[in-house]
Structure 1
């Protein structure tokens, strides 16, 4: 599937190759005024209201990420020959084409790692940045940026940053059911801390009647939001602006619990290889931002135990969101998906009462909704595989994409994470 993607001011150039097979995407244009698919319409105004003036290069990175998010949502996996792997081509216009062209291989490698699709990216023309800053723009009074999702990991990360003396700007993807939570967390973490919430607002349903549900590219757009904001911070010594992607190491690596969960069948939002590829891309184009995940070698349980403000964490932890099906269950945690199991296991290790409230609470019930649910069975199978065949055999190649100097420590962390899940299953007598 081919997409010709242009910011609103460059849309007249969209058919320069004369193809009738490509799908047009117009970025930063309201859906009702665009000729084709759209994304990013609300971002310009959100950034303007925040009195920020991001760099042109950061806008280019966002344009690339928006193009990828539209293509990912609009290209249905079920229509591909094997029912999963897609062939996606992007024809892009950015403000600084010559800066980005030499680094397209890094971009396509990052996209391929996230989605296991075949990506072909071309930057065929230039376009002006469709953003006019307000007259009152000023560099923010912050020294770093952190993603704040409303989840438990980003909450712990935010608490630890503030307690260590950092002054972050929090950046969030606007999600129904989590918006007030994100703003509330930012307020509670420190007086005067800023939180900017953005939404790609991708409109792709017209192409197939529905969106692709896997949408593995979303982690790239989260980072692009944060890079956009980070480009407005000027450190006095010229050093890179730290961008914190706070996620526990077990979910970051997301080891395949069973042979059926290899590759992009599991999400790779903060996988060290993905973050390394994006870092190389940012360095290559001169975006002075440093990606950091301080918890890449810690389990979720360890994060809770080691959090620097236990009192504040006790107050807010139950309010955070971890569930992969949160909206589906009317903004309640299902209790049985893998993120919910990791959350529940972390509370057990923390030795604090988990007041979350789960739709499916007793994982030991022997029915399809509880012990026999796919994600619960996958954890049980993983435990059995390690017991029978050993950890090294079960882990397989999931550690090969971790930096060599951290591979041993990552292996220990994954064993710790699996042990936390095991204690959760033992607690409920899952068999």
Structure 2
């Protein structure tokens, strides 16, 4: 699939590519013109309405992320040759195409890892670079933290505030999570400044559900926000915290049938390390960090620095991979739900979350399609029979993973938490 992603004044050509208007609306379909997609208008408007000033290359990075998330939504996996792997050829308008073309192969590698698709990136001029506000607001916060509405990001923000840090909370608005994001920001550290943005990526047809490359938009929003801080404008490096437990960040394939891209990899060490290189090459003084890369979710809950605050808000957080499928309720049986439930058990506090399927060990018609539960059973059985290393295979062998030893130990502890959950529910 070919896409050309640029501002609305770009000279789009009707040559069979999907034209995507960045930071604008696609406009009404005209005779002889193919339907267009769009992305980013609301995010740009909200950022500028707050009178924030982002770095030029941070805007370029956001343009790329908007193009990627639109492609990810527009390309149906069902129409690919193998029913999963797609091919994308993206032309993206940026302010500094010469630089970004030097990073195309590095970014293609990140995207391939995230989505298991094949990507080709070409950068052209004509991208958006907003004029600085007349009276810019330079936030005094000393770091940025992603606040998704999930449990891990909640703990991350709580820990930062408890340690005396003053984070700017940045959210990608998702239906069903927006209220949580705002409530958590208001409840932490006496109230955090909260920047909530929405990519509004909209292809001109039905969206693909898998959305494995959307991680890039989370990172791009955080990077843009980090470059707006007073500390950044004063020449300092700004820390940008992407908080996720190490087990889910790595998302090791539970069985041989589960491709890595069947699960999201937002905070995978391979992704974050490669993106750190790109940001460094761009001279963007933003340091991405995941303080929990060697911790399980249960360990995060037990070691949270403000236990009363965590107890007050943990149940309201969202972890489910199928949250919207079940009318904004946790399903209880997907891998993220199982990891969440295992973490509450390891924490030792009651889990009063409503789960659509609360009884993991029940054997009847309604509970017959517990594929993810069976996958966890099979993983623990294989580890017991053949050892952890045989089960892991090449999962920790990627070139930018870092030291595999602590990651191996982390995965072992994560499986142990899941095993305890299954024992509690009598899963066989």
> TM-score per shorter chain, which class?
over 0.9
The correspondence of residues 5-404 of structure 1 with structure 2, limited to 5 A, is: 5-9=5-9, 11=10, 13-15=11-13, 20-32=15-27, 36-129=36-129, 131-204=130-203, 206=204, 209-235=205-231, 238-367=235-364, 369-370=366-367, 372-401=369-398
CA distance in 1, matches of 2:214, 2:390: 31
| Distance in structure 2 (CA, Å) of the matches to 1:360 and 1:321 | 16
> Partners of 2:378 and 2:385 in 1: how far apart?
10
Q: Work out the number of aligned pairs and report it.
A: 422
Where 1:217 maps in the other structure, the secondary structure is: coil
Give the conservation status (yes or no) of the 8 Å contact 2:273–2:400.
no
Deviations for 1:225-255, whole angstroms, at most 9, x for unmatched residues? 0111011124377332100000000000000
Unaligned residue ranges in structure 1 (runs of 5+): none
Output one character per residue of 1:163-190: Cα deviation in whole Å (capped at 9) or x when no partner: 1111110110111121111111011102
Aligned-partner SS, 2:377: helix
Inter-partner Cα distance in structure 1 for 2:146 and 2:101: 28
Task: Name the CA distance, whole Å, in 2 between partners of 1:249 and 1:426.
Answer: 23
Q: What is the deviation of 1:401?
A: 2.2
Q: CA deviation at 1:31?
A: 4.3
Q: Deviations over 1:355-382 (max 9, x none)?
A: 1111111111013544750011100011
1:350 to 1:203, Cα distance in 2 relative to 1, 3 A: same
Give me the whole-angstrom Cα distance separating, in 2, the residues matched to 1:412 and 1:268. 19
Q: Quote how far apart the aligned CAs of 1:137 are.
A: 1.6
Please report the RMSD computed on the Cα atoms of aligned residues, expressed in angstroms. Answer: 1.7
Paired position in structure 2 for 1:425: 422
Pick which of 391-400 and 323-332 moved more.
Answer: 323-332
Distance in structure 2 (CA, Å) of the matches to 1:421 and 1:31: 46
Q: Distance in 1 between matches of 2:24 and 2:383?
A: 52
State the distance in 1 between where 2:393 and 2:269 align.
Answer: 17
TM-score w.r.t. structure 1 length?
0.94
TM-score, normalised with respect to structure 2:
0.95
In 1: Cα distance, 2:132 partner to 2:180 partner: 28
